[in-house]
Structure 1
Amino acid sequence: MQMIIVDDEAHWVDNLSTTKPWHTLGIEQVHKAYSASEALQIIETHPIDIVISDIQMPEMTGLELMERIRRRDKKIKCIILSGHSEFEFAKSAIQHSAVDYLLKPPTDSELLGAVQTAIGQLNAEWELISSLERTQYTLRENLPLLRGQLLLSALQGQRMPADEWERKLENYGLPFRTGDCALMLVRLEEEFGQYKNNGQPLIEYAVINMAEEIIGECMEVWGVKEEHGYLVFLLQLKEKAADLGTDGLLEQLSVQLQYKVKQFLKGSLSIVITEWFRFPDQLPEQFRRASAYFRQIVGDEREFVMRVSDLHEPSQQGPLDALYTPPSLINLLESGHWEAAGAKLMDVCAELDEKWPESWEHCMEAGFLITAAFSNLAHRNGLTLVKLLGTDIEELQSGEAFTSINKLRVWSLSVLAKLKEGTSSEIKDIRSLYVKKIQEFTDKNLHLDVSLRVLADHVNLHPTHLSKIYKIETGEGISEYISRLRMDRACHMLKTTSKKVYEISTDIGYMDPAYFIKVFKRQFGVTPQEYRDGKK
């Protein structure tokens, strides 16, 4: 857990943060803030769990700080410190859900006890949120979506170890097992087109329900709509129905589904079913074959029920599995997973070597898709392949890059390295631009609100992301930069102008001159007036 101690009196903050055995309570990090605004900036950029705050501070009181914290995160626990025992203060603290209200100076037992209470409340709340019972309830609520996503991924060729399949099938309440399965692909014909813009999902849901009702008597049914518009059903014979046999059973059930949909939904279906195959190993291959049957055999014909046949000689050609198996190359590039993208390219070339060593068309297919992914990434970053690749573009323009598998391998890996370098430079340039904008804005508006939230809004970034970018590029946090800038400007104005101390305080963003004097003295060991007089 992380905690922050907030007080405009530095000795309180430094003493409480460094001399108490916070680690014994499980506090991993204790942050320090010398004002409420500084505390809010730290809370925006760190996962703070507990706040210990003084109640009377310039600019913003501890109670106002609690109110601001409550607006953004109701789970943060607050403990109030005060030098006053007024009833109204304590009452307000309770109204803001403070864990405790302690008088200064608190004893160790009081302070550690209050923090222990806060930790207990946090643990109880998060245990409830993360409890197995609640997780299982949430899982049940989202089961249809999760089941559909799992089947879609498997159809597209995503592989999983056998033990992971078993775990997911069990967690998702799917009564499937490794072994014989069949696929049924269903296409809704044009009568359902009237629902395309209004009610199509309801019709599809109704067809899925009817399929589960009709087929579910003797088979386990797992259905989903895939990207080309087919309703896909994975089917497995129930153990209690093993004596029914499988010959003709799928055709019989398919015809029955067609009939009931026509009768009650007033529309027709075409259906392609596969032979029985071993699940999950052969699932992607059988799905591709069934999809191809719809294109090649059924075509535009209506109300067909067809079984994928093995009568035809297997084709000597076929698709490149590695190229299309998720995650796609373009997704890996967009997410900056460079090593995985390189491995993907190697897998594609390895498959070409193994299955299609003499096929120029397969090499060209891979080359075109790889180039399209490279171009997409370059264009998304406001660049061109010509600018990024230099002389390497000549092999692409002449087609030389695709004339052999080895040339494709060498060329694509070389381009990947240049893309990585070019986009990384671009990212660094963008980060530097953010830093420049922040520094320019702060320099011009130091007398106004230059909180992290305001700066983040100025450059349209989330405060946490902006804070990380600034730290990466400059090596210091934004709050440290602003504090340093304010002190540097105060020193310059004290030495070169005759402005009053309170005027300088306002000019650099401190509304309370007394607070400015306190911060200045903590930084330099002297007051602003002593600094001006040369008593350093």
Structure 2
Amino acid sequence: MLQLLIVDDEIHAVEGVRSGVEWQKLGITAVFSAFTVKQAKELFENERIDIMLCDIEMPQVSGLELAEWVMERYPSTAMIFLTCHADFKYAQQALQLGSLDYILKPIPFDELEKTILKAVEKINKDSELVEFSQYGQFWFQHQPMLIERFWLDIINQTIPPRAESVSRAAADRNIPYAEKMTFAPVLISMQRWHKHVTMREEKILEYALTNTAEEIILENKKNGQIITLNSGRLLAILSAESYSDIELLLKQSCERYIDACRKYFYCDISCYIGEKVHGHEMFEMVKRLGENEKNNVAYNNKIFLLSGDQLQPVSRQLPDMSTWSIMLKEGEFAKVLEEATSFLDLLLGQNGLDANLLRQFYQDFQQAMYYMLQMKGIQAHQLFSNTISLEFSANATRSVTDLIAWMNHVVSKAMAYVNTVEQSFSVVQRVISYIKQHIAEDLSREEIANHVFLNPDYLTRIFKKETGMAVSDYLFHERLKIAQKLLAKTDMPISAVASHIGYANFSHFSRMFKKHNDLNPIEYRQLHQSLQSER
């Protein structure tokens, strides 16, 4: 019979679930409660927990973090998430693909009972003796975290890629292993999300991506392991002992996995299927799969077989972008964007794009853009320093899709700002507005120019053309006018007047004031206040 644990920081919610379900009817003989993650971990250490109902949103440590801890130490425990946030409902079906369920509060007890019955059936099925090859069975029965660390050490060359070194490392860690064992790796690359997701949602979805890979590619973890790499990449390693045509099997599994990810996770994923290798050959095989992934800048949601679909470096002539620089300078933004996109589409049609060529195209196009901005006095590092622009730039060389998205972004942003600069009156007004808002601060000409993304000398030229004075002169005269009004109409201390218009040095303020008024601040106040009293 089975035991169940309810983890929720709301005592009433826990008691409601305990009393609302006929546990014996479901085959549950014991129900435990935990109101904190610490209490839950203590129960796991002292009791056998077959099923865990866990709230996601808890103080200090989330339910997802507890779930990761449980998966590392008690992988046979079936887990069901509870939450009161319907915003994550789109992840419900996705999580179910990974042998988990996701129930919204308030919990409908009939739905909860069905879910628990499903978990009971899964546990009973997993507990049956599964017939594998001799070695595949050993690996399945072993702790997954120990195996994952072993593979990561091979892939990172902490364990040298030699047969004797791998065998010795396995023996040192008490991992059942023989040199004749063979494995088939699949590199899974998450290419992009198709909708905006928060960091919390992304974590849930990445967790579900892993569980879905275990469900579909590994058939509920019966014959392999999913290893988390970096940068949205997973590595599935399958025991290849029991399959005559494992490549065909993996191709079919990856097709189902990609379809599920597009449907439930709103993302593009490509899979790179390697050849059967021995343990000490895994480093070189994963390296080759990584090179294939790196060179795939053209295709989304595609499966590559290393034995037949290798992406080879290509040699193509890039367009002469000096012409595009001139066109951009003359305002032909749309035309340049059209020609650049057409060139990339042509290369796609000819299978003529790899990572190196895409990076060269990106660098040359960026140079053409920056040359145009420099000619117009616009500071590129200021214009494109916002979070959105930086994100577009970081992803630009990942694929042709991302490169075209980046080009559209930088061209449209530059075009909009160039039009603004060329209407110098609007730029001058923005500078004047900025000066008025920050009059009490220690403003410099460079800081003001940065606010409008312009070179300080270029800003000075267009500002003087419009107002008849340099930016620094305008700033001083604005400060002087405010000081005169404050001295004449208020009793503010002169040091406070100086501070109010951005002068930290009282003596410097007095000298500058007298230089332009022939009176020091005290004399100016006395004169104007006496004139007002005579009226």
Fold match by TM threshold 0.5: no
Task: Compute the TM-score of the two structures, normalised by the length of structure 2.
Answer: 0.28
